[in-house]
Amino acid sequence: MTRRRQRRTLKPLPGGRVEYKGRSFINFCSNDYLGLAQDERIVQALKEAADEYGVGSGASQLITGYSEAHEQLEQQLADFTGYDRALFFSNGYMANLGVITALADRHTSLYLDRLAHASLIDATRLSRARYQRYAHNSVADLMARLADDQQQRRLVVSEGVFSMEGDRAPLIDIAQCCQQQKALFYLDDAHGFGVLGEQGRGSRSAQGLDTDAVPLQMATFGKALGVSGAFVAGSHELIETILQRSRTLTYSTAPPPALARATATALTIVIAEQWRRDKLEALVQYWRRVAHEQELPLLESDTAIQPLLIGADADALAVSESLMEHGLLVSAIRPPTVPEGEARLRITLTSAHEQADIDRLVQALAASL
């Protein structure tokens, strides 16, 4: 079974590395884009908050699981993003399920990008909405589908940065399309938040859009912020609707208050330390230049996600295993995560990497492909 997945027992090491079976590997698989997962300031914030609050919240947010730490984080997120309110979810998957099933039902038409994340697909199906998947990043296809739809309630969903492609959605055009067609636009910015835009505000900020253009946004904390969890931000009315209707929030134990406090610390660091984003951007540019020199099969991406299209499953696995022999950890991504015949190496760069790490990767790829 070539598509059987297996877990590896890894230990994180400094400098964008992990230990596996007693050996150190440069980790080119992590979504820890700003190298914060082991930051001592965040670790200390978690420890201190655990001393104050304990290690669990004890109940749903709507029972007794909502603390001052949760409230302060949500206010910090609302202030940072410019939305009226924010809600703290346990993870991005639960946030997407909670939002879409709260806002969409069988009386809703829902439009989803063809390459949307599995959580968005699952949420769409669970909502029972009538849905269509428009061609990837094709605003013309989206507009044509919306123009033919007379349904009064319509929801358009896109990612800001696509997790397996690394490319960015044309948010300006999607927002204009939604405004013209009177559809609600929901943005999943899991891979843009913290990395793109002013002070890391994300894809919406990077493309110069205000909150009116993108009325509802989700982002996760397990990537650029280096912790765990997710949030949804929007208007008072939208957030209150989600709070009242989201089953994944109502029927889940709230994330630990200590995690909320650590996340608040991580967000403060993300805002203050622009050098992390600057370094990551420089590494992406360097990688693309040297990879092009070696004629590696790059996809079009200017983000931290840099896929190499291989094609056949077996070939992608073989290259991944060859890279491990060189002390490099790069995952092979296969269907159903990506379309048939488009198996790839999903290379991710972080600010914990150095140019020498990229040189080593490029040399190993040139020898392995």
Residue-wise pLDDT for 186-195, tens only, equals 999 999 999 9
Percentage of the chain exceeding pLDDT 70: 99
Residue 3 pLDDT > 80: no
Mean pLDDT of 204-225: 98
In which band, very low, low, confident or very high, does the pLDDT at 280 lie, cut at 50, 70 and 90? Answer: very high
- Is 228 assigned a catalytic role? no
Annotated domain spans of the chain:
11-34+274-368, 40-272
User: Is 353 marked within a binding site?
Assistant: no
Q: Under the phi-then-psi rule, with left for phi > 0, alpha for psi from -120 to 50, and beta for the rest, what region is 54? A: left
For 338-356, what is the mean pLDDT?
95
Q: How far is CA 166 from CA 118, 191, 258, in A?
A: 16, 9, 32
**Measured distance CA(303)–CA(345) in Å, rounded:** 15
Strand 305-311: give its sheet, edge to edge. Answer: 305-311, 343-348, 332-333
Q: Annotated catalytic residue: which of 57, 158, 163, 203? A: 163
Which of 234, 269, 247 has its CA nearest to residue 43? 269
Residue 191 marked in a binding site: yes
Sign of the CA dihedral running 105, 106, 107, 109:
positive
- Using only C-alpha atoms, what is the Rg of the chain? 21
- 356-358-361-366 Cα dihedral, nearest 10 degrees: -100
* C-alpha dihedral, 62 to 190 to 118 to 310, nearest 10°: -160
User: Domain 11-34+274-368, what fold?
Assistant: Aspartate Aminotransferase, domain 1 (3.90.1150)
In this predicted model, what pLDDT tens digit does every residue of 144-187 receive, in sequence order? 999 999 888 999 999 999 999 999 999 999 999 999 999 999 99
5 is in an annotated binding site: yes
Is position 279 annotated as part of the catalytic site? no
Residue 82 token pair: 């410019």
What pLDDT score does 79 carry? 98
Q: Are 160 and 204 in contact (CB under 8 A)?
A: yes
pLDDT of amino acid 151: 85
Find out whether 348 is annotated in a ligand binding site.
no
CATH of domain 40-272: 3.40.640.10
Average pLDDT, the chain: 96
Per-residue pLDDT tens digits for 7-21: 899 999 999 999 999
Which residues have CB under 8 Å from 234's CB, separation 6+? 83, 84, 85, 211, 215, 216, 217, 242
Is the pLDDT reported for residue 196 higher than 50?
Answer: yes
| pLDDT at res. 2 | 57
Question: CA 191 to CA 12: how far, in whole Å?
Answer: 21
> Closest Cα to residue 93, out of 215, 221, 236?
221
Out of 119, 127, 191, 252, the active site residue is: 191
Q: Which of 70, 223, 279, 353 is catalytic?
A: 223
- Tell whether the model's pLDDT for residue 1 goes beyond 60: no
> pTM of the full predicted structure?
0.94
**pLDDT value of residue 194:** 98
Q: Any binding-site annotation on 277?
A: no
Tell me whether residue 91 is one of the annotated catalytic residues: no
Kindly state the tokens that stand for 145: 């589908």
Q: pLDDT tens digits for 98-155? A: 999 999 999 999 999 999 999 999 999 999 999 999 999 999 999 999 999 988 899 9
Active site residue 113: no
326 is in an annotated binding site: no
**Residue from 31, 109, 137, 205 carrying the catalytic annotation:** 31
Query: What number is the average pLDDT over the span 75-95?
Result: 98
3-state secondary structure 36-88: CCCCHHHHHHHHHHHHHHCCCCCCECCCCCCCHHHHHHHHHHHHHHCCCEEEE
Q: 81 pLDDT band (50/70/90 cuts)?
A: very high
